[in-house]
Chains A and B, each alone.
Chain A
Amino acid sequence: MTGFGATVVRAGRRLLSSLPALFGVLVFTFLLMRVLPGDPAVFFASGPNAGKEEIEQIRKQMGLDKSVPEQLVFYLSDIGRGNLGRSMMTGQPVLKDLRERLPASLELTFTALLIALIAAVPLGVVAALKPGSLVDHGVRLFCALGVCVPTFVSGLLLIYVFYYLLGLAPDPTGRIDVFTSLPPQRTGFLSIDFLLAGDIEGWWATCKQLILPALSMALFVIAPLARITRASMLVSLGSDFVRTARSVGLSWQKVVVTYALRNAILPVITIAGIVFSTMLGANVLVEKVFSWPGVASYALDALLSSDYAPVQGFVLLMAGIFVLVNLVVDICYGIADPRVSIG
């Protein structure tokens, strides 16, 4: 119980200490958006007859008629009240947009990370067991291929093969076939909501829809995960405790999995945390190719049209998620190696 209590205290302290960083991100993004060239009011007043009057009206609507410090004060007080502003693109409050789209991105990223870990950890372990062997080189080649093919290329390739040529995959648009009715929304994760609703067919349909985008994202991140696993496995296999464990005649499996891998997993968790955060923001290309209604493609569209509120909201969200992921990584450390949580 004391271990758990210490973890909670540590987590709380970590969260508190990240607040100044979040505030910095908030102000920095705000200023950055204002410095970027391009006037959103002019862009949105792009109807065939939108003249000066319309531009002024939109400027007022977006609060751009005020001075930058004033805008910042308004913005911060809005944030304080939990209002992220309104998107000009979708016409919806940013908070609502993000809330609807975040589960889509998270579901995709979690699945991709899961696939990547399931593939990368064994690959790394196998490579580390026989360094320099043909297997090791094979893993290296596979990783290199995965990381050097951009996600949109692998995405389009997968679509071409599995949807267009073979017809195995469902049409690569969105999270679910347009003709399927959605389950009652509980978590926002379709695969979980379908299970909760007891609709196995629907669940299978979502999974089928998930596979291709998740796979093309996973291919891209297998490399860093497998390389880290291999490197830290090598260190761990060469260490004294493994030699000791071997010498006392423990089974091969026990030595590799329980002693070596458990000690080698810490850096993998760190990298997985970082990979997860980057994937969430960087999967914009996958989201575009698969018409995935996620936050990254939303933020990109907003950025291209200089729609301030969604971009600011997105960056804030990402910063928040980054803090959370770091926290989770810390907690995972504690579980993998209890020594970490002492002190």
Chain B
Amino acid sequence: MRFVSFRSASSVLATTALLLVATAPSQAQTRAETLRYVTGASVNTLDPNIPGSTRESFALSMSTYDRLVAFGRKQLNGKWVFDLDKITGELAESYVVSPDGLKLTFRLRKDAKFQDGSPVTAEDVKWSLDRCVTAPILGKAQLLTGSLTSADQFKVIDPLTIEVTLPKPDKLALPNLATVYPLIINSKVAKEHATPEDPWATAWLKEHTAGSGAYVIESFKPGEQVIIKRNEDWNRGSPDKPAFFKRVIVQSVPEPATRANLVERGDADLVVDLQASDVQSLEAKGKLKVISTPQYNSITFVSMNNQIPPFDNVNVRRAVAFALPYEDMFKAALFGRGAPLFGATWPDGKPLNGIYPFQAPVKTDLDKAREYLKAAGLPEGFSTTFSFNVGQASTAEPMAALVKESLAKIGIKVDIQKLPDAQMSTQINEKKLPLFTEGIVAWLPSTDYFYRNFYTGNQRWNYSSINNPELATIAQEARFEPDKAKYEEAGRKLNAIHFSEMPQIPLWQPNQDAVMASSIEGYTYEFHRQVDYRDVSRK
């Protein structure tokens, strides 16, 4: 009860009175009903669709807005993670996919209300989805990956039914509607704040919410903290009840050591972005609950620019792949906290399955690396740079030193470049870096999605600038492949091409280490790599 000790009786009375006025039926809240979540970054917009929005903004919007559908959850090695294959209704009470896969019909809940009390109608859903594919916002590019591109595809059938038509049976259409961006907005309220230059009210929604979500914004200080309070009428969660915590405080604490101290002292309830070393020592002390989930939709890799010499030569890329000191890097960067993507054995030299990311049969083998260098016509080696961004320095810096040391053994002289984040993004976008490390995340981790987004086209996310027509064709076709066996086969082919071309070297999937008070329950690893406050409760 540290909470009370800070105040005199009179100020408690005053606060209570204030709270009574502000939230009529609710009583003064105790510490137990409040979740204090500390994070390194900050919520910078209340609409996650705004370019530049942070992951914290994504997580917040999951609680302040509802979507039509949501991901279910499943257990992976005894830990709860989101389930891409189980889509449940959120604002939709039920949905039907037509046999040809071209029509999705959503039946809305009768009792769903926006936070201002007005009912959620199909008109609101249409306006919100129209906004997502029309307005110049982030949702547009995301929904494109599920063949949702035009407002004509959304049709109001009756006040509680909305129909979505697809040009092709796209498996990612439905899961796309469960991601962060297609939030359902109270269109009446939003329209009131729209202007001729800003018909979709993007400016207003950046600082205000008009949703039907489990939580209402109580105060919003960008860069500092957001306080949200429970929406008592909300019943869209899986157990059909309002969220557990009456209040959630999302606070920015930039210093990782301080975040660790706060959670260890019991002043903060939950934190996900600690340094691996701190997590390890907290886990060893055993007072707190530590849930480590490999981020199964993310990959850290070393990328090589397949268009710049000498990395345009596949043998050079293979030489690097066999010269990296994987085990040491994994220990130095992550203290081994994650799932390695190296060191596999492929008995007949073929991929074990069609799932991406896959564990590749690479390990440190300097002799093999030297052979490949010789085959590339560079037996003496060459000089290059290895870049990483400042934001990832805590893991990338020790990694870079090891890369430099190990590559020097086969004659590759490496200059380490530590770049400010904006500069790194610029250089990646302009395809200027020969050798660097980066991490990627896919919200909808299916094999074709990874290959299409990260290994094709002349776009930013094709880090290695690989241009392989066969890979591009297979990935494109796999997208609309309804037959599971054929899809699996396509995945195997893609993985085989990846290994033989070695455009970049997947290293590992880092753990998401969630450290929390032992009384916190229900934590689930979510696709946006933040905590969904609706998941957690206190014992």
Q: Which residues of A contact B (CB under 8 A)?
A: 37-40, 42-55, 57-58, 61, 88-92, 97, 100, 156, 159-160, 163-164, 167, 170-174, 177-181, 199-202, 205, 288-291, 293, 297-298, 301, 304-306
Contact = CB atoms under 8 A, between A and B. Distances in A.
Contacts, number: 164
Given A49-B138, A164-B264, 20 more contacts: A38-B424, A42-B425, A47-B142, A49-B144, A50-B141, A50-B460, A52-B459, A88-B52, A90-B42, A91-B50, A91-B206, A172-B261, A178-B36, A178-B251, A180-B7, A201-B6, A201-B8, A205-B6, A291-B251, A301-B223
B290 to A, nearest CB: 18
Contact of A293 (B8, B224, B390): B224
Most buried by A among B3, B36, B50, B255: B255
A72 B461 CA distance: 33
Interface in B237-285: 249, 251-255, 257-258, 261-262, 264-265, 267-268
B15 A173 contact: no
Given A37-B423, A293-B224, A173 B253 contact: yes
A54 B223 contact: no
Nearest to B457: A51
B51 interface: yes
B511 interface: no
A293 B138 contact: no
A42 B7 contact: no
A171 B425 contact: no
Contact of A172 (B51, B207, B224, B258): B258
Interface string B16-47: 00100000000000010010101000101100
Interface of B: 3, 6-8, 11, 15, 18, 31, 34, 36, 38, 42, 44-45, 50-53, 136, 138, 141-142, 144-145, 206-207, 221-225, 249, 251-255, 257-258, 261-262, 264-265, 267-268, 390-391, 420-426, 429, 441-443, 453, 459-461
Contact of A38 (B34, B142, B253, B420): B420
Contact of B3 (A43, A45, A159, A179): A179
B253 A291 contact: yes
Contacts of A301: 223
Contacts of A199: 11
Given A49-B142, A201-B7, A293-B224, A171 B265 contact: yes
B31 A179 contact: yes
A131 B212 CA distance: 73
B44 A38 contact: no
Contacts of A53: 141
18 contacts: A38-B420, A38-B425, A39-B422, A39-B426, A47-B138, A47-B142, A49-B138, A49-B453, A53-B141, A54-B138, A55-B429, A91-B45, A91-B206, A156-B255, A167-B265, A174-B251, A178-B36, A305-B422
Contacts of B426: 37-39, 42-43
A170 to B, nearest CB: 8
Contact of A54 (B15, B44, B51, B222): B51
B420 A304 contact: yes
Given A47-B138, A90-B222, A288 B254 contact: yes
B261 A159 contact: yes
B422 A43 contact: yes
Contacts of A306: 420, 422-423
B445 to A, nearest CB: 11
A199 B426 CA distance: 50
A154 to B, nearest CB: 14
Query: Which 3 pairs show the lowest CB-CB distances between chains A and B?
Result: A38-B422, A38-B423, A306-B422
Contacts of B50: 91
Contacts of A38: 420-426
Contact of A291 (B207, B252, B459): B252
Most buried by B among A91, A178, A288: A91
A46 B425 contact: yes
Contacts of A202: 7, 11
Nearest to A89: B44
Contacts of A200: 8
B422 A47 contact: no
Contacts of B31: 179
Contacts of A163: 261, 265
Contacts of A164: 261, 264-265
Contacts of A293: 221, 223-224
Contacts of B7: 180, 201-202
Contacts of A160: 261
A91 B42 CA distance: 11
Nearest to B11: A201
A101 B225 CA distance: 13
Contact of B262 (A43, A50, A173): A173
Contacts of B255: 156, 288-291
A40 B18 CA distance: 43
Contacts of B252: 291
Contacts of A51: 141, 459-460
A152 to B, nearest CB: 8
Given A38-B422, A178-B249, A201-B7, A92 B222 contact: yes
B51 A57 contact: yes
A180 B145 CA distance: 45
A90 B223 contact: yes
A42 B142 CA distance: 17
A304 B222 contact: no
Contact of B51 (A47, A156, A159): A47
Most buried by B among A57, A58, A174, A178: A178
Contact of A173 (B145, B258, B423): B258
A290 B261 CA distance: 12
Most buried by A among B34, B136, B423, B425: B425
Contacts of A181: 11, 15, 18
A343 to B, nearest CB: 48
Contacts of B264: 164
A306 B427 CA distance: 14
A171 B265 CA distance: 9
A44 B261 contact: no
A91 B142 contact: no
Nearest to B38: A173
A50 B7 CA distance: 48
Most buried by B among A47, A55, A88: A47
A47 B265 CA distance: 34
A40 B51 contact: no
A80 to B, nearest CB: 23
B318 to A, nearest CB: 29
A156 to B, nearest CB: 6
Contacts of B424: 38
A44 B420 contact: no
B138 A171 contact: no
B11 A58 contact: no
B41 to A, nearest CB: 10
B258 A58 contact: no
Contact of A304 (B11, B142, B421, B460): B421
Contacts of B15: 181
Given A164-B261, A179-B31, A297 B422 contact: no
Most buried by B among A49, A159, A174: A49
